[in-house]
């Protein structure tokens, strides 16, 4: 029995922030940003919450899959920027959408979050069950990546504020009787000894000890992140291909985390694959962390490029450090 993606959805906030808008904040310009990132614009949430974005993407994914809400047995939300610590975003999505039969929880693996969520959902659907008198197996699941990175972006730091945006992507996963769908998944963690990619968490002072002051802003060491990204993409892709019994030449499309256009170009070169086989969505939405992969997969599918039977390599990397890849037969 295979676990297939049967529906996709995407939601971007209404407000568009161009490179020219960014140049009003920091010393940069449109061409400088394009040359270093491939980004033309990003969407920034103003009135929209993360739950708003997640629900909109999930509703579209359900329509795309032709799935009923009472069929969803699992809601898994990947996010590093939840609206609240409690209740978790998945619980808010479940309640607002009326997904009464679903178990819901959040997962945070930074920019690799959607891949870790996909891996987790696949395992639960193959081996787990949702609660109930008959312990019914999970037949359909919603996996959502959603971020409002604008809330943790340092808008005064020009090498990082140009990179990030907000948005959500969602996928409906379904247990199918034939061997089609997710062929293999591979995940790996790397210790971030040098603080290559970090974001502190602000807490209120408590009366029992004096904690060191932390700033809740993203910080990254660009060159180190670049090296890690390119190397990890190649490594996890190689490993997941071995698991699936395939080679790079068997892959029709590559859908990497949309972190930086240069990273994708370097990864394609390192893997000796034409860049035309890589889905590039970063130009219009920037880096949306856990939301970037489902959004890019949505863009690829909606262009009509994917044909039934195509094999797609989906690759993520992010803070932690961590990375993951999956092979999906469409």
Give me the active site residues, please: 111, 257, 287
Taking the C-alpha atoms of residue 108 and residue 323, their distance in angstroms, rounded to an integer, is 13
What is the three-class DSSP state of 7? strand
Contact 147, 291 (CB under 8 A): yes
Helix boundaries (H) for the chain: 19-23, 30-37, 50-65, 89-97, 113-127, 158-161, 222-244, 261-270, 282-285, 292-302
Report yes or no: 100 and 61 within 8 Å, Cβ to Cβ.
no
Instruction: Give 75's strand partners.
Output: 104, 142
Give yes or no for a contact between 214 and 201, defined as CB atoms under 8 angstroms apart.
yes
Helices (H), 245-315: 261-270, 282-285, 292-302
Residues 6+ apart with CB under 8 A from 282: 37, 38, 39, 258, 259, 260, 261, 264, 292
């Amino acid at each position: 029995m295979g676990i297939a993606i049967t529906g996709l959805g995407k939601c971007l906030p209404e407000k568009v922030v161009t490179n020219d808008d960014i140049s009003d904040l920091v010393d940069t310009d449109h061409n400088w940003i394009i040359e270093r990132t491939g980004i033309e614009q990003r969407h920034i949430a103003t009135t929209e919450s993360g739950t708003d974005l997640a629900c909109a993407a999930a509703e579209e994914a359900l329509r795309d899959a032709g799935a009923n809400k009472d069929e969803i047995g699992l809601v898994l939300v990947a996010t590093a920027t939840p609206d609240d610590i409690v209740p978790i975003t998945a619980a808010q999505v479940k309640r607002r959408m009326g997904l009464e039969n679903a178990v819901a929880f959040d997962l945070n693996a930074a920019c690799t979050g959607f891949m870790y969520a996909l891996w987790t959902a696949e395992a639960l659907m193959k081996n787990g069950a949702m609660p109930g008198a008959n312990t019914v197996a999970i037949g359909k699941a919603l996996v959502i990546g959603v971020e409002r990175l604008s809330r943790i972006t340092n808008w005064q730091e020009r090498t990082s504020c140009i990179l990030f945006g907000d948005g959500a992507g969602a996928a409906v996963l379904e247990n199918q009787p034939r061997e089609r769908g997710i062929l293999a998944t591979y995940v790996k963690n790397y210790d971030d000894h040098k603080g290559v990619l970090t974001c502190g968490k602000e807490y209120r002072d408590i009366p029992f000890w004096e904690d060191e002051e932390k700033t809740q802003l993203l910080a990254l060491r660009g060159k180190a992140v670049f090296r890690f990204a390119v190397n990890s993409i190649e490594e996890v892709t190689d490993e997941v291909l071995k698991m699936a019994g395939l080679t790079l030449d068997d892959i029709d499309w590559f859908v990497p985390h949309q972190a930086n256009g240069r990273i994708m170009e370097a990864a394609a070169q390192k893997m000796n694959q034409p860049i035309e086989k890589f889905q590039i969505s970063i130009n219009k939405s920037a880096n949306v962390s856990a939301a970037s992969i489902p959004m890019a997969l949505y863009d690829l599918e909606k262009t009509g490029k994917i044909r039934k039977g195509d094999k797609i390599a989906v690759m993520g990397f992010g803070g932690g450090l961590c990375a993951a890849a999956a092979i999906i037969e469409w």
